[in-house]
Amino acid sequence: MIELDSITRSFQVGDQSVRALRGVSVTIAAGEFVSIMGPSGSGKSTLLNLLGLLDRSDSGMYRLDGLDVTALTDAEAARVRREKIGFVFQFFHLVPRLSAADNVALPMMLAGVQPTLRKERVARLLADVGLSQRASHLPGQLSGGQLQRVAIARAMSMNPTLLLADEPTGNLDRSTGRDVLTLLEELNRRGTTLIVVTHDQEIGARAGRRIAMEDGQVVADSCPSGEGP
Amino acid sequence: MTSRDTFSLAWGSLAHQPGRTLLIALAMSIGVASVVVLTALGEGARRYVLDQFASLGTGLLIVIPGRAETSGGAPGVLSGQTTRDLTLADADAVARLRGVERVAPLNVGVAQVSRGGLSREAVLLGSTASLLEIRHMRLIQGHYLPAGPSDQATQVCVLGLRIRAELFGQANALGEWLRIGDRRFRVIGVLATQGQQMGFDSDETVAIPVAAAQQLFNTASLFRILVEARGRDAVAPVKEDLLALLKARHENDADVTVITQDAVLATFDRIFTALTLAVSGIAAISLGVAGVLIMNVMLVSVAQRRSEIGLLKALGATASQVRDLFLAEAGLIAALGAVIGLLLGLAASFVLGRIYPVLPITPPLWAMAAAVTTALVAALLFAWLPARKAARLDAALALARR
Ligand SMILES: Nc1ncnc2c1ncn2[C@@H]1O[C@H](COP(=O)(O)OP(=O)(O)O)[C@@H](O)[C@H]1O
Ligand SMILES: [Mg+2]
């Protein structure tokens, strides 16, 4: 499903060029659960942003579902994000003035889904993450674990094939983090490809495939695609 | 995204900061309200003046002694010093022209009018019977000046309402005698109230036969000749004939000026329209100021909502959807301001209409439409920059907490 070939990405900081990714080549099959680990600054978030089409590589090739997405226009990239990709962030990123239900509905709103259909799906998504009772609560009235579950419901609202999570448990206590990961694993079991960036060894170990990064490069890959999980 | 969703999201973000939203809307509304009020006033003044002139009749020509440099100027009130005077004989000759319905020679002066111990100054109009029709005046009592040859100095007078009241009080005035200057006149009629006309308040005038006025003022010249043509279409030919006639009578010197009602009306119309536009244009500048305010506030808002914008992009919003969201916010604020402004403007116009009942103060529809459109356009124009800034925001950077 994902093919990365010699991806590089550098950032200009002042008059210095920081090479965040130096030639990353990875292939990930549909339905895999992949964890990406590595020290801070090793390029994990940069890689995830590239995978989610929030950022572009300087060179290299990225194929998503057989489609070359390296040179998509802004509108085309937005469309791919909308239809295929869900994001979960460390800091949840819920819109504070919108209720849990409205936050979950946001991607469908952007995609132009009819309000009645939207309502139905929001109800089901919130039920899936066990938050039916909190539909009308504002983010300020929810705990960290609940916020992340709302964010996961939102990420799944357009039924994406690829779920990208950047340190989804980084802001949660250990047991809440475990619950959130269980929820993500459940989604993966239902067929969604799951890529999780994490610092947590325990969480990393639960992934079917573990990729280790260092200094902008993949230094270890427990189970490269092709050799099969 | 449907436009309904765009507006509801935009509205949600505005409603989240009601104080800020109301303040900007208020700034907009002041601009809209001032455009509405000022155009209402300008239009009111224009209509008032035009109505005043129209009440003089549309077939009216005014002959003024002397050559005017500009055409269509307003008739001066008290002047008469010119090279060659207009005379009663001129007026009688004009009356015989084809297409002329009636002619009223006019002399104007100020004189002391007294009866018994009571005395006051009044504007004295020397004219003929035709003046009543030409100036569309009405009597409430008696007759107007007698018909007959214009050079007959009958000692009779017609009083304006206030003069009558001040000299006679509740008593009967008809048939009574009073003194104007050093002569005695008999009251034969009283004018109905008429309001301002050509610079005089008819309530404050006393009309006497023109020949009597000439004796009183010791002059053989006229201040004006008022000519009424047979209908609007006759005005132009009558004007031509009239100029030719007077030129011939004045030893081939074209030394009179003829003002027609149409020219006066058109001039006033132009002046007032220009004034109204200028004044409302100045008021519209405040809409531009409100636009700058919107831009400023939106720039701050884009900076504050960076992560929200990044999130929307991550969730699949295109750059144009993000831009439209911010434009919708600006549009909604402007619309809110426009509604408040229209209400304020209408209320203020209503109050002004009560304070100055003679002015027909109603804000013209075009002005209200123009004010609202200007408000919306200004808001969208000034919101364009912040909206584009939001649309171009780097999503990955906006979402990262560095
Ligand atoms: N937008 C950016 N501007 C400048 N430098 C950046 C930017 N994004 C990432 N970097 C740099 O690239 C490197 C990799 O960053 P990142 O991918 O965030 O690391 P990780 O997520 O593994 O901690 C770091 O040195 C970081 O400072
Ligand atoms: Mg990171």
Round the CA-based radius of gyration of chain B to a whole number and report it. Answer: 33
* pLDDT at A110 (0 to 100): 95
Spacing, Cα A85 to ligand 2 middle (Å) = 18
Note the pLDDT tens digit of each residue in B232-275.
788 889 999 999 999 998 888 888 888 887 777 788 888 888 88
* pLDDT at B12 (0 to 100): 93
Say which residue, B402 or B103, is predicted with more confidence. Answer: B103
* pLDDT at B261 (0 to 100): 74
Question: Which B positions 288-307 lie with beta carbon below 8 A of chain A?
Answer: 307
Does residue A101 form part of some domain?
yes
Q: Are A229 and A209 in contact (CB under 8 A)?
A: yes
Note the pLDDT tens digit of each residue in A118-152.
999 999 999 999 999 999 999 999 999 999 999 99
Locate the chain A residue with the closest alpha carbon to B14.
Answer: A97
- State the pLDDT confidence band at B280, using cuts at 50, 70 and 90: confident
How many residues in chain A? 229
* pLDDT at B70 (0 to 100): 45
* pLDDT at B78 (0 to 100): 43
Tokens describing residue B324: 């439209």
- End-to-end Cα distance, chain B: 31
Among A45, A46, A57, A166, the mutation site with the greatest number of ligand 1 atoms within 8 A of its Cβ is A46
Q: Exposed, middle or buried, A68 (CB in 10 Å: 0-12/13-18/19+)? A: exposed
Q: Are B337 and B27 in contact (CB under 8 A)?
A: yes
| Average pLDDT along chain B | 88
Atom of ligand 1 nearest to the CA of A12: 4
Task: List, in order, residues 6 or more apart from B196 with CB less than 8 Å away.
Answer: B52
Does residue A125 form part of some domain?
yes
Say which residue, A89 or B57, is predicted with more confidence. Answer: A89
* pLDDT at A189 (0 to 100): 95
Does residue A6 form part of some domain?
no
Interval A7-30 mean pLDDT: 93
Does residue A210 form part of some domain?
yes
* pLDDT at A26 (0 to 100): 95
Does A16 sit in the ligand 1 pocket, CB within 6 Å? no
Smallest Cβ–Cβ distance between B317 and the set A45, A91, A110 belongs to: A110
Domain hosting A165: range is 27-42+80-224
Note the pLDDT tens digit of each residue in A22-46.
999 999 999 999 999 999 999 999 9
Q: In chain A, what percentage of residues exceed pLDDT 90? A: 90
* pLDDT at B52 (0 to 100): 74
Task: Inform me whether the pLDDT recorded for A112 exceeds 60.
Answer: yes
- State the pLDDT confidence band at B199, using cuts at 50, 70 and 90: low
Does residue A7 form part of some domain?
no
Say which residue, A76 or B55, is predicted with more confidence. Answer: A76
Does residue A173 form part of some domain?
yes
Give the phi and the psi of residue A11 in degrees, each rounded to 5: -115, 145
* pLDDT at A159 (0 to 100): 92
Q: How far apart are CA B337 and CA B333, in angstroms?
A: 6
Chain center to CA of B65: 28
Q: Are B202 and B137 in contact (CB under 8 A)?
A: yes
Interval B307-319 mean pLDDT: 95
Locate the chain B residue with the closest alpha carbon to A164.
Answer: B314
Q: Exposed, middle or buried, A83 (CB in 10 Å: 0-12/13-18/19+)? A: middle
Does A42 sit in the ligand 1 pocket, CB within 6 Å? yes
DSSP B159-222: E-HHHHHHHHTTS--TT-EEEETTEEEEEEEEEPP--EETTEEGGGEEEEEHHHHHHHHT-S-B
Say which residue, B49 or B229, is predicted with more confidence. Answer: B229
Task: Inform me whether the pLDDT recorded for A225 exceeds 60.
Answer: no
Inspect the interface and report whether the beta carbons of B1 and A75 lie closer than 8 Å: no
* pLDDT at B143 (0 to 100): 92
Does residue A176 form part of some domain?
yes
Sign of the alpha-carbon torsion through A195, A200, A205, A211: positive
Tokens describing residue B272: 């007032």
* pLDDT at B116 (0 to 100): 86
Q: In chain B, what percentage of residues exceed pLDDT 90? A: 57
Q: Are A95 and A103 in contact (CB under 8 A)?
A: yes
Number of domains chain A contains:
1
- Chain B residues with beta carbon closer than 8 angstroms to that of A49: 396
Chain center to CA of B28: 27
Smallest Cβ–Cβ distance between B316 and the set A55, A95, A107 belongs to: A107
Inspect the interface and report whether the beta carbons of B399 and A89 lie closer than 8 Å: yes
| Average pLDDT along chain A | 93
Interval A59-72 mean pLDDT: 93
* pLDDT at B197 (0 to 100): 63
Q: Count contacts between A and B (CB, < 8 Å).
A: 69
* pLDDT at B283 (0 to 100): 81
- Chain A residues with beta carbon closer than 8 angstroms to that of B314: 52, 54, 81, 87, 93
Q: What is the three-class DSSP state of A53? A: coil
Note the pLDDT tens digit of each residue in B59-100.
888 898 887 544 444 444 444 444 678 999 999 999 999 999
* pLDDT at B75 (0 to 100): 47
Say which residue, B110 or B252, is predicted with more confidence. Answer: B110
* pLDDT at B149 (0 to 100): 86
Inspect the interface and report whether the beta carbons of A82 and B315 lie closer than 8 Å: yes
Q: Are A34 and A209 in contact (CB under 8 A)?
A: yes
Sign of the alpha-carbon torsion through B28, B33, B36, B39: negative
The secondary structure of chain A in percent helix, strand, coil, rounded to multiples of 5, reads 35, 30, 35
Cα-based torsion angle of the residue sequence A9, A13, A15, A19 in order, rounded to the nearest 10 degrees:
-30
Task: Tell me the CATH number at A93.
Answer: 3.40.50.300
Q: How far apart are CA B148 and CA B159, in angstroms?
A: 20
Q: Are A210 and A32 in contact (CB under 8 A)?
A: no
Sign of the alpha-carbon torsion through A19, A24, A29, A32: negative
Residue B315 touches partner A, C-beta closer than 8 Å = yes
Does residue A143 form part of some domain?
yes
Interval B332-361 mean pLDDT: 91
Which residue's CA is minimally distant from atom 2 of ligand 1? A11
Question: Which A positions 65-84 lie with beta carbon below 8 A of chain B?
Answer: 74-75, 78-79, 81-83
The b/e string for B154-188 (b: 16+ C-beta within 10 A; e otherwise) is eebbbbbbbbbebbbeeeebeeeebebbeeebebb
CB atoms within 10 A of CB B371: 28
